[in-house]
Amino acid sequence: MNAHSDRRNALSLDGLNFFLADVRDGLGPYLAIYLLAVHHWEPASIGLVMTLAGIAALLTQTPAGALIDRTHRKRGVIIVAALLVTASCLLLPFITSFTLVAMTQALSAVAASVFAPAIAAISLGITGPRAFTRRTGRNETFNHAGNAVAALLAGGFAYLFGPVAVFYLMALMALASVIAISFISPHAIDHDVARGFDPEGPSHDINPSGLSVLLHNRPLLVFAICCGLFHLANAAMLPLVSQKLSLVNLQMATPLTSACIVAAQLVMVPVALLVGWKADVWGRKPLLLAGFLILPLRAVLYLLSDDPYWLVAVQLLDGVGAGVFGALFPVVVKDLTQGTGRFNVSLGALSTVFGLGAALSNGLAGIVVQQAGYDAAFLTLAGIAAAAFALLLLAMPETLNRLRAAPRHTMDEAEALT
């Protein structure tokens, strides 16, 4: 592979992560606003649609990882998934029934479940394990930049043209991701390396099974529990902050919440870049511990004041914790599954675990708020976050030393690819 091809592949991965950023996360609150404001749906119906989509995504994470492990058409899988998301977005303005809306959102969630493992696999297959950490940091950098830009554009277009504009924006970003992936050379992807085989070891077929890997790989199981606890503590924090902002100043709650999201994404950009550059030097565990420690600290800081600007300022710490976690999650899974050929199915299985934690987080926080108030909810989340930090500190080994010695590319090639 020449330098021009290396550069083209690297820039194409940049574009893919940028344009898929908002597509991967789904319509979320934008769909809720649209259904409430335009079609006057009951909140219970809106919540049920979003819950069904979330369940569909959870159920397909592990199979999606297994598919990416098996297939040599990873680019094609991303293209098909992006087109399905585009179709579901473009259909929404023309349908109103609960069944059809639920079906489009479930389909979109299922399609989007392939994006994370496919991007990780393509990145690993192009760069090899030696350059994967830096490439993953760069992936997350462009992902967070894409999220920030998409949030700003969504807010502006929704203000000018109404909530429906968000659907067309997401469809355009999905189509742009199709163009980006088409510029990645299919010959640049080593599909054996992409599924976690040793770069210079013997290649042979393995029946992918995330459950088998989790049951027999103790560090991976510990990391899965840490991830689940992290998201159980983290997912409800922004919604709780939004509710407190509404109680303090209803008129400013929405713009301040938007400011929280955009600012946190912008903080994640340099954090992800730093992790990509330094995780191979400093190790994974010190950076992970720093990211996990931010979470209980954040929860406790929310107790100190109800001032809106204080709450927004504390929420910026989410950019540090989530930025570290997002950049290191696929790297640690790669370390722990190197040589097994089960990288992507393990990635999908762990994504299911932390997705379940995130799904349960808001329900748990809501119950505590109703029974004991917001301070108790933040303290509960802080306790869960502290437990995740303690488990990571005491039971999780450093995974950097598990990286096999044989690089797929020379260091000069690795620099070019990242």
- Rounded CA-CA distance 69/238 in Å is 34
Give the three-class secondary structure for 201. coil
Residue-wise pLDDT tens digits, 299-317: 999 999 888 888 888 988 9
Of the given ranges (37-46, 67-76, 286-295), which has the lowest mean pLDDT?
A: 37-46
Per-residue pLDDT tens digits for 118-175: 999 999 999 998 899 999 999 999 999 998 888 788 778 877 887 788 888 888 998 9
The residues spanned by each domain of the chain are 1-192, 209-405
Rounded to the nearest integer, the mean pLDDT of the chain is: 85
Average pLDDT over residues 252-279: 84
**38-52, 157-171, 389-403: which range is least confident on average?**
38-52
Contact between 74 and 121 (Cβ < 8 Å): yes
For the whole model, what pTM was predicted?
Answer: 0.83
| Percent of the chain clearing pLDDT 90 (strictly above) | 45
Q: For residue 25, which of 322, 228, 275 has the smallest C-alpha distance?
A: 322
Residue 222 above 70 pLDDT? yes
pLDDT of residue 81: 93
**Phi and psi dihedrals of 222, rounded to 5?**
-60, -45
Neighbours of 301 (CB within 10 A): 17
Residues 6+ apart with CB under 8 A from 248: 306, 307, 308
Domain 209-405, classified CATH 1.20.1250.20, yes or no: yes
Average pLDDT over residues 71-98: 90
pLDDT mean over 257-280? 87
Match 């290396």 to its residue by tokens: 6
Give me the DSSP letters along 323-376: HHHHHHHHHHHHHHHTTTT-HHHHHHHHHHHHHHHHHHHHHHHHHHHHHH-HHH
Name the band, by pLDDT with cuts 50, 70 and 90, for residue 406: very low
Read off the amino acid at residue 302. Answer: Y
Q: How confident is the model at residue 36 (pLDDT cuts 50, 70, 90)?
A: confident
Per-residue HEC secondary structure of 194-227 comes to HCCCCCCCCCCCCCCCHHHHHHHCHHHHHHHHHH
**Both structure tokens of 340:** 């097994």
Q: Is 196 left (phi over 0), alpha (psi -120 to 50) or beta?
A: left
Continuous segment of H or E residues that includes residue 412: helix 411-417
**Is 90 exceeded by the pLDDT of residue 181?**
yes
More confident residue, 411 or 161: 161
Residue with tokens 């919540």: 47
Q: How far apart are CA 290 and CA 418, in angstroms?
A: 25
For residue 417, pLDDT beyond 60: no
Secondary-structure breakdown of the chain: helix, strand, coil percentages, each rounded to the nearest 5: 85, 0, 15
Given this structure, which CATH class describes domain 1-192? mainly alpha
| Residue 104: Cβ within 10 Å count | 23
What are residue 114's phi and psi, to 5 degrees? -85, -15
Query: Is it true that 1-192 and 209-405 share their CATH fold?
Result: yes
